[in-house]
Amino acid sequence: MNLERKTSTAAIGMIERAIMNTVKNDTLNRGGTASHFVRDTGSFVVGLNRDKEKSGEDSISFLRSLDWENVTVDAQEGNLASGACLYYRAEIPEVWEAYEAVMDLEDLTPEMAKNVRLEAGSHRRFDGKTIWQLIGNLEPTRTYRCHLIVGSINGPDKTVTAENAVIYTWYPGRLTPPLEMVEGLIKCEAK
């Protein structure tokens, strides 16, 4: 598989198919129409719905408004990729106020550590098992980057095609390791 950077047009085509496939998948949208796109915890964009019981259509409009670049090679070279997933990055225009709500564990001070606890994460592994995360009542930081991960509905190790592509997740902020490898990150509670 050739993983060279694709043009924005190619990225938008795959992302659009993944959005459409995700919206049609009732299993991914348990909370209602496009609820899979709602960022109810972690990194967020001010003004977008954060309630999983409501529609994620505003998030879809936001994602469609961005100019995406395929950065799968960067993710693989940085050991930040999972399986055969495709990774995309976009710059967030200043009209949007976006926040990255993770921090490196090495940046944690003893005082900050008092506000960190271990919790079951809002995501599950593909096999259904709980993903445990460190959660802290810490301040998110402003960001102008957004990442989106596209994978196969059949599992992260399966080749992604237009027919099986779904949005695994999207989030404002830097590219972070797959959930199974986040022992170096703390997820911040957005205030």
- CB-based contacts of 40, cutoff 8 Å, min separation 6: 50, 51, 52, 122
Q: For the residues of 59-81, what is the DSSP string, one character each?
A: HHHHHHHS--EE-HHHHHHTT--
Question: Residue 42 gets which letter from DSSP?
Answer: S
* pLDDT for res 126: 61
d(CA 160, CA 157): 9
Task: Please compute, for residue 27, the number of CA atoms within 13 A of its CA located in the half-sphere on the CB side.
Answer: 8
* pLDDT for res 165: 96
* pLDDT for res 186: 59
* pLDDT for res 188: 65
Note the residue count of the chain: 191
Q: Each residue of 133-170: pLDDT tens digit?
A: 778 887 899 999 999 999 999 988 999 999 999 999 99
- Mean pLDDT of each 10-residue bin along the chain, 191 residues long: 49 91 86 84 91 89 95 92 93 96 85 83 66 80 96 93 94 81 58 53
d(CA 87, CA 131): 21
* pLDDT for res 123: 61
Where in the chain are the domains? 8-100+142-181
